[in-house]
Amino acid sequence: MKIKHPFLLGTLLGGLMLVILISSANKKSDNEDKCSEYLSVMDDGIAAQLKWADLDYNLYCLSYTMTSTDYTLSWLYRDVSLKTNHLKEGTDIWPYIYKKIYLNEKNKITFMIDSLKELQVSEHLNRSDFAKTVVTMIQDIPYSYVLWNESCDDHVGPCIDDVKWGLYTPTEFLYTHQGDCDTRTLTLYTLLKELGYHPILLTSNAYRHSIIGLDIPASGDHIVKNGIKYYLWETTNTGWDIGMLPPEMNDISKWDITLQ
């Protein structure tokens, strides 16, 4: 089953290849005026700058470029190469799809991994605060429906249809700045995994939604797997801290670990 849920809003730009600039400052700092969001389409890709604040109102700025070749290769893998017809009938295809995309993508986003590590060092972020910085970056991306076998005419808000699997890869997401719940949870899973964390990706048939879980010190909504507490995180809107699920989606028994 494909999960969709319209927890909207945020602002993020993304890309691949070469990072130009990383800086952060307190929201009240004079440096705030030096960081402005932009997205420029070039002949061979994009140039973008991200600007977001964490839950403590610290401001971060990240600039980079991304090649159209990397985007196209990622699109071809998802749209053409990734197949599930060899799976046994009745098999849940989503663990397989998410795992295959993660494995194909993890070496394509090293530019972002390196840039985020540099940010962690420059800002002296501990493990928990760094995770929150990464997640708030993704939360700040505007929500867009990504549909397969559905029409955007049936949805309100930004929407892209005719996308195989109803899902963008992390590279596509960072290139287009468009993504729904599992597009961004898969992106976060990939980023956090490659940054040395142990994330899980969860989906719910009942809620038609996707979230992540992370085993860092926290409180609130969580799931226990092999004796480890994974605190759950809503990623489709700003303002959601770790351990906070929307009240209408906080029945833990209705969430399944789809990728670990």
Q: Is 230 helix (H, G, I), strand (E, B) or coil?
A: strand
Task: Give the amino acid at 74.
Answer: S
pLDDT of residue 135: 98
pLDDT of residue 10: 36
pLDDT of residue 40: 86
Q: Where does residue 210 rank: exposed (0-12), middle (13-18), buried (19+ CB within 10 A)?
A: buried
pLDDT of residue 137: 96
pLDDT of residue 62: 87
Domain map (residue ranges) of the chain: 18-197
- pTM, two decimal places: 0.88
Query: Could you report the per-residue pLDDT of 82-98, keeping only the tens digit for each?
Result: 999 999 999 999 999 99
pLDDT of residue 49: 84
Tell me which residues of the chain have a pLDDT lower than 50.
Answer: 1-3, 5-31
pLDDT of residue 39: 80
